[in-house]
Amino acid sequence: MSDGYSPDATEEQKVVAKDVLNKIADKNVQDTVIYGRYTDTSDRYDMAMDVCNYNGPKETAAVVAECFTRNRENVHLLDVAAGTGLCAVELRKHGFLKMDALDASPGMLEEAKRKGLYDQYIIDILGEKTLDISTDTYDAVVMCGFSIEILQRLPITAFEELIRIVKPGGYFINTGWMMMYTDGGEVKAEQLRRQLKTLEENGKWKFVQLKHFKNYIKGFDGAVSVHMICK
């Protein structure tokens, strides 16, 4: 039976990948500690995700491409929790060129800078605060692989802030574990599901689709959630 790791991975690589995942998915520490752990593991992150068969960025980019079928080189995207830029790599394959990155981990963004993927590299924390970004700046916010341990604790104002910086008719596209989105699914994601629905009920955005896919990471199912911004 497969352990979910790449068949080409060595035992040493699997140990490293497991260590990276355990550190960044620790629910028993504060958010600031997790951000620090992302920085501490940034030099091993890409390798760990490759070993774990991480397909989230590829699936995310495909859905973004479905939302923008023309003039992709002029579509302005904000990659939230951009990390080392794995999602941007896939987005570029579809012709998206205007991208900014936002992440709370300086170390992760340093890795992304080495790849030259974004126009701006914004170090900031998503939460209660107002982002230093003008209203209606982006055509879409893309979020792939945001730590579920942090995501479950985000206040609804964090999502309202992302809505603020996206143009009406633009999109909020978020990719994660399928169990995050299923009613009666992952218990710790109940607040997330409730907030997504509340924002829809309040006319902030409208639900477009939830695209289920196999093999998000280590063989587990994933989903791409799409909402259109209304305000």
Q: Are residues 126 and 206 in the same domain?
A: yes
Task: Write the pLDDT tens digit of every residue in 24-78.
Answer: 988 788 888 999 999 999 999 999 999 999 999 999 999 999 999 999 999 999 9
Q: Are residues 106 and 18 in the same domain?
A: no
Q: Are residues 103 and 130 in the same domain?
A: yes
Q: Are residues 86 and 26 in the same domain?
A: no
Q: Are residues 93 and 23 in the same domain?
A: no
- Each residue of 21-37: b (16+ CB within 10 Å) or e? bebbeeeeeebeebbbb
Q: Are residues 122 and 157 in the same domain?
A: yes
Instruction: Give me the domain span that covers residue 60.
Output: 56-229
Q: Are residues 31 and 72 in the same domain?
A: no
Torsion angle defined by CA atoms of residues 168, 171, 172 and 173, in that order, rounded to the nearest 10 degrees: 180
Task: Write the pLDDT tens digit of every residue in 164-210.
Answer: 999 999 999 999 999 888 877 677 788 889 999 999 999 999 999 99
- Count of the separate structural domains present in the chain: 2
CATH number, domain at 95?
3.40.50.150
Q: Are residues 113 and 42 in the same domain?
A: no
